[in-house]
Amino acid sequence: MSFSSSLKAKLALGCVLAGAAILATASGEQTSTPAQTPVKTQAAAQPRQQVTVALAQAPAAAPAARPQAAARVVRPTAAQKAAVAARKYIRQIRDAYPQYSAVAVDMERGEVVMADENLFQMLVYDRTTNTPKNAAMSEPKRRIAGPKTFLELQCAIYIDPVNGDIYSLNNDTERHMTVWGRDQQGDTEPKWKLHTPMGSFGLAVDEVKNELLITGQTENVVAGFPKTAREEDPPAWVLWGDKTLLADPHGIALDTKKNIFFVANFGSTATPRELKPGEDYLRVATGRGNFVPGSGRFLPVSITVYDKTARGDTAPIRVITGPRTQLNWPTGLYVDSAREELYVANDGGNSILVFHTDANGNAAPIRALKGPKTQLFYPSSVFIDTKHDEMWVANFGNHRATVYPRTATGDMAPIRVIRSAPEDMPAPTLANVRIGYDTKREQILAAN
Amino acid sequence: MLGRTQHSIFYDEFHDEVVIPQPFAGAILTFPGGANGETPPLRIIQGPKAGLALNDVMTVDPVHNEYFVPRGQGGGMIHVFDRMAVGDVAPIRIIGGPKAGLGGIPSVDYEHNFLIVEGRDGMYIYDRTASGDIEPLRKITGGPKSGVKSIAGPMWIPGTRNFVATVRAFTAREKSPDEPLNWQRVEDAQSMIAVFTVDDDGDVAPRYLTGFNHFKEIRNLALDPKNKTVMAADKTQNDVTTWDFKEAWQNFAPAKAERYTEPQRRNLASPRPADPI
C-alpha cells in the first residue's frame, strides 16, 4: 500500500507548512469579548470514560469556554464592519513559481512542454534548456495561462507527433482535456476541448487506432474516446468493475508492440453499483459516485496490465505488485515499446523505476534511479525521448524538470535541469488544498 | 491508505489526533497527532455497515466522542460514528436524508449542542443529537436582505455561539455552462469569510465579513483560537491565507428574519453541487 508515501506527502507537508505558519502572539484583547470560563459540557457533566481522560489530557487551550450570561452583546457599527472588510490577510502560504506536474517532449520540433499544477499554466521550453546553477530560473519560450484556457490541475501532457498539437488533461477540478496548436500562447481558448466527466488523471494515445485512453481516479475506470471526440462526446468504451482491480488509477501507458496497456493504481477502490433500467452504461461508468456505499476497500498498490481490447469488467492479464517492486504512489507511466521497458514515476518513493514490459507479480525493477544526486522529489511524470535517448522527469516537489540518459540508474545526477524557481526556494506543493489547524503544535495541516 | 485526493483534515485537540476521510475507499482514518513518516492509523472505520462512499469531509465532536461524516454519495445525510469505533461499524445515528439534503463540511458546537451543516436551502442548525430526516431548528438562508448567498464550510468557534463560514455576495453572478467549473477571477467569485451565530435564522446578515477581493474558490476554513485568526484554503489561488478576525470571537445578539428561498431549488437526488475533487 501507499501509506508511507502518503504520510510523507501529507503530514510531513503539514510540518513544512507549519514552518511558514507558526503564528505570532495573539492580537489585542477585545473589550467586548466575554470573559472565559472553563467548559462544562454535557459530556463533562456525565462523563464517559474516554471523555474524562481526554479532558484531563487536553492541552491548556483545548477546553473551550462558554460566554458568561451577562457578557456584553456587541452590535457592530457600519464603520466597524467596513474596517474588518477592508482588512488584508496577515500571512499567505503560496508558491509563486511553476511546479511541474507533467512533461512531454516534441522530439521533431526540439521543444519540451510542461504542465504547471501550481499556477495552472502550460510552459514550453527549448529541449536543450539547462538552467545555470547561479541563475534564478529559466523562463519558458511560450506560456499558456489564464481564465480562457480551461487549464487547471493538469496531470498529463501528450504531443501529437504529426502536427505538434499539445493535449493537456485536467484532473477533476476542471473536467476537460484541452488541445492546443503548437504556436498558441497567452490567455486564449484551446483549439478544441473534450469534456471528460471523470476525475481524469492519465492519458495515452493510440495513434494507429486514433483513440484516447483516459483513467478516471474517482470512478476507477479507463475510458476510450475517439481521438476526434469533442465537447460532450461520450466514450466509446470503458474498463470498469471489480475484476479490473482498478483502484485510484493514475498513469496509463500503451504498448503498441504487444497490444497491451498499463495502469498505475494507488490502491483505493469501491464496487460499482448496478445499472438502473434505461441507464447508459458508459455514462454511469464515467459519472461521479456510482458505487455501492460501504464497498470501499484498500488493495495493494499495483500496476495492472490489460489486453488492448479489454472492455467492461475484465481482469488484468498481469499485476505488478509486492514489496520487491518498490512501488509507492506510482503516478506517471511511459512505455518504450521497442526496448520493452516500462518507466514508472514513483512519486512516493522519489524514484524512477524501470520494469520489463513482461514483468509480473512481485518483480523487482530492472533499473531504479533514486538518491540525492538525482534531484528527484515527488516525480509525477516521466517521458522517454527516443530520438535523443534521454529520460525526462517532472518533479512536483522541487521546481525542477530533470533530464538523464535514458538508461540512467542508481544515484545519478541529471545531465540537464530546467528550474522554475530560485535554487533553494521551498515548494509547498499545494494543490486543491484543505487545511486543519493543530492547536497543540501550532501547525497548519494540509491535505492536498 | 492515503492518496493524492484527500479533501479534509481535522485536528482533534482534546485527544491529539488527526482524522482524515479517505473518499475513494469509503474510510475514516485516525492518526496520532504529530504523525510523520511511516505511521499507521490508530483506527479505521470502513465497510458495508459504515456505508460510506466518496466521503470527502467530516468533523469531530471531541467532547461527546463522535465523528460526523457526510456519507458522500447521494442521500444528503450525515453518518455519526462513535469516535473510538474500529472496522465495519454502523453509524450510531443518521441525520438528514432526501428532504434535508445535507452535504458539505459539518461543524459541531459541542458546548451548546448544535450541528451546523449546509442543507438544501441554507445553513442548517440542528440539535447535536438530531436523528433522521427532520427539520432543522433554524436555517440561515442568505438572500437579498443579508446580501450574501452560498453559505458553506462552517467552523464553530469554541467559547462562543458563533461560527465562521464562506459566503458569496448575493449579487455575484452564477456560472454559465460554457465556463470553467471553478471561478477564475476574484471579481466573479466575490467570496468572503462571514461570521454568524448558531441562534440566527433566516435571511440574516453576517455580523462581520472579511477577505474581500482575494478569494476565488475557498475550499475550507480553520481556526487558531489562541490568536483569534481564521485560515482559509483557496483552490484557484492555490494558497493558504491567515486573517486577523478577532471580531468573530465577540458576543453577538441572535438575529431572525424571513427565510429566503432560492428560485431554483436543488435537485432532490443531488443535495448539493458535486464538489469537484
pLDDT at B38: 79
**CA distance to partner chain A, nearest, from residue B263 (Å):** 26
Please say whether the beta carbons of B255 and A151 come within 8 A.
no
Q: Measured between CB atoms, which of B185, B222, B249 is closest to A147?
A: B185
Note whether residue A56 is domain-resident: no
Find where cell 428560485 sits: B263
**CA distance to partner chain A, nearest, from residue B111 (Å):** 5
Q: Is A434 on the interface with B (CB under 8 A)?
A: yes
Please tell me which residue of chain A has the smallest CA distance to B11. Answer: A438
Contact A295 B48 (CB under 8 A): yes
Q: Which residues constitute the domain of residue B33? A: 1-101
**CA distance to partner chain B, nearest, from residue A117 (Å):** 9
Query: Residue B265 — pLDDT band, cuts 50, 70, 90?
Result: low
Q: Which of A386, A326, A382, A387 is nearest to A359 (CA)?
A: A326
Residue B135: Cβ within 10 Å count:
12
Query: pLDDT for B103-153, tens place per residue?
Result: 899 999 999 999 999 999 999 999 999 999 999 999 999 999 999 999 999
B148 and B69 fall within a common domain = no
Q: Is A242 on the interface with B (CB under 8 A)?
A: no
Report in angstroms the alpha-carbon separations of A299 from A153, A188, A246, B29. Answer: 26, 42, 9, 16
B236 and B158 fall within a common domain = yes
Q: Measured between CB atoms, which of B2, B54, B159 is closest to A36?
A: B159
Note whether residue B169 is domain-resident: yes
pLDDT at A414: 98
B93 and B152 fall within a common domain = no
Listed in sequence order, the residues at least 6 apart from B271 whose beta carbon sits closer than 8 Å to its beta carbon are B74, B75, B76, B98, B100, B101, B102, B103, B119, B120
Note whether residue A17 is domain-resident: no
Name the domain count of chain B: 2
B37 and B87 fall within a common domain = yes
Please tell me which residue of chain B has the smallest CA distance to A265. Answer: B3
Residue type for position A263: V
Query: pLDDT for B195-215, tens place per residue?
Result: 999 999 999 999 999 999 999
Query: pLDDT for B210-245, tens place per residue?
Result: 999 999 999 999 999 999 999 999 999 999 999 999
Please tell me which residue of chain A has the smallest CA distance to B9. Answer: A436
DSSP type of residue A132: -
Note whether residue B11 is domain-resident: yes
How would you class A423 by CB atoms within 10 Å of its CB: exposed for 0-12, middle for 13-18, buried for 19 or more? middle
Find where cell 522541487 sits: A398
**Dihedral-angle region of residue A127 (phi above 0 means left; psi in -120 to 50 means alpha; beta otherwise):** alpha
pLDDT at A70: 58
Note whether residue B109 is domain-resident: no
Opening angle at CA A265, ends B236 and A15, nearest 5 = 50
**CA distance to partner chain A, nearest, from residue B264 (Å):** 23
- Cα separation, A170 vs A189, in Å, equals 15
Query: Residue B181 — pLDDT band, cuts 50, 70, 90?
Result: confident
Please say whether the beta carbons of A234 and A221 come within 8 A.
no
**CA distance to partner chain A, nearest, from residue B36 (Å):** 6
- Cα separation, B130 vs B93, in Å, equals 8
Name the domain count of chain A: 1
Check the CA dihedral B62-B63-B66-B68 and report its sign: negative
Q: Which residues constitute the domain of residue A380? A: 102-419
Note whether residue B260 is domain-resident: no
- Cα separation, B47 vs B112, in Å, equals 32
Instruction: Determine which of A302, A435, A441, A442 to mutate to test the interface with B (most B C-beta atoms within 10 Å).
Output: A435
Q: Can you read off the three cell numbers belonging to residue B117? A: 451543516
Q: Measured between CB atoms, which of B20, B36, B239 is closest to A92?
A: B239
- Cα separation, B166 vs B168, in Å, equals 7
Q: Which of A340, A437, A56 is nearest to B33 (CA)?
A: A437
- Cα separation, A199 vs A28, in Å, equals 46
DSSP bridge pairs for A346: A330, A351
Please say whether the beta carbons of A307 and A259 come within 8 A.
yes
**DSSP letter string over B99-162?**
TT--EEEEEEETTTTEEEEEETTEEEEEETT--BS---SEEE--BTTTTEEEEEEEEE-TTSSE
Q: Which of B101, B128, B156 is the last residue of a domain?
A: B101
Find the distance separating the first CA and the last CA of chain B, reported in whole Å: 17
Note whether residue B32 is domain-resident: yes
B178 and B79 fall within a common domain = no
pLDDT at A172: 81
Q: Is the pLDDT of residue B57 over 50?
A: yes
Please say whether the beta carbons of A286 and A200 come within 8 A.
no
Q: Is the pLDDT of residue B270 over 50?
A: no
Q: Is the pLDDT of residue B273 over 60?
A: no
Query: pLDDT for A74-97, tens place per residue?
Result: 899 999 999 999 999 999 999 999
- Cα separation, B181 vs B189, in Å, equals 12
List of chain B residues whose C-beta atoms are within 8 Å of the C-beta of residue A438: 11, 13, 18, 33-34
pLDDT at A65: 46
DSSP type of residue A330: E
Q: Is the pLDDT of residue B75 over 90?
A: no
pLDDT at B262: 78
Contact B209 A81 (CB under 8 A): yes
Note whether residue B168 is domain-resident: yes
Note whether residue B269 is domain-resident: no
pLDDT at B163: 98
Q: Which of A323, A319, A355, A357 is nearest to A338 (CA)?
A: A357
Note whether residue A188 is domain-resident: yes
Rounded to the nearest integer, the mean pLDDT of chain B is: 92
Note whether residue A315 is domain-resident: yes
The interface predicted TM-score (ipTM) is 0.94
Q: Is A295 on the interface with B (CB under 8 A)?
A: yes
Contact A172 B209 (CB under 8 A): no
Q: Which of B51, B77, B101 is the last residue of a domain?
A: B101
B90 and B156 fall within a common domain = no
Find where cell 492536498 sits: A448
- Cα separation, B57 vs A443, in Å, equals 20
Query: Residue B264 — pLDDT band, cuts 50, 70, 90?
Result: low
- CA–centroid distance for A105 within its chain: 20
Contact A6 B48 (CB under 8 A): no
Q: Can you read off the three cell numbers belonging to residue B145? A: 436582505
Beta strands in chain B (DSSP E): 10-12, 17-22, 27-32, 43-46, 59-61, 66-70, 77-82, 93-96, 103-109, 114-119, 122-127, 138-140, 148-156, 162-169, 191-197, 208-215, 218-224, 229-234, 239-244
> B50: domain CATH number?
2.40.10.500
Query: pLDDT for A397-406, tens place per residue?
Result: 999 999 999 9
Note whether residue B112 is domain-resident: no
Q: Can you read off the three cell numbers belonging to residue B112? A: 451548546
Please say whether the beta carbons of A432 and B217 come within 8 A.
no
B79 and B31 fall within a common domain = yes
Q: Can you read off the three cell numbers belonging to residue B250? A: 465577540
**Could you read off the pLDDT tens digit of each residue along chain A, which spans 448 residues?**
333 333 333 333 333 333 222 222 223 223 232 333 333 333 333 333 322 222 333 333 444 445 445 578 989 999 999 999 999 999 999 999 999 999 999 999 999 999 999 999 999 999 999 999 999 999 999 999 999 999 999 999 999 999 999 999 999 888 899 999 989 999 999 999 999 999 999 999 999 999 999 999 999 999 999 999 999 999 999 999 999 999 999 999 999 999 999 999 999 999 999 999 999 999 999 998 899 999 999 999 999 999 999 999 999 999 999 999 999 999 999 999 999 999 999 999 999 999 999 999 999 999 999 999 999 999 999 999 999 999 999 999 999 999 999 999 999 999 999 999 999 999 988 888 999 999 999 999 999 7
List of chain B residues whose C-beta atoms are within 8 Å of the C-beta of residue A46: none
Residue type for position A281: Y
Instruction: Determine which of A432, A443, A445 to mutate to test the interface with B (most B C-beta atoms within 10 Å).
Output: A432
> A373: domain CATH number?
2.130.10.10
List of chain B residues whose C-beta atoms are within 8 Å of the C-beta of residue A248: 3, 5, 24
Please tell me which residue of chain A has the smallest CA distance to B220. Answer: A434
Note whether residue A381 is domain-resident: yes
Q: Which of A223, A103, A256 is nearest to A166 (CA)?
A: A103
Contact B9 A447 (CB under 8 A): yes
Find where cell 471528460 sits: A196
Q: Can you read off the three cell numbers belonging to residue A96? A: 509563486
Phi, psi dihedral angles at A184 (to 5 degrees):
-70, 150
**CA distance to partner chain B, nearest, from residue A78 (Å):** 10
**CA distance to partner chain B, nearest, from residue A356 (Å):** 26
B246 and B150 fall within a common domain = yes
pLDDT at A26: 28
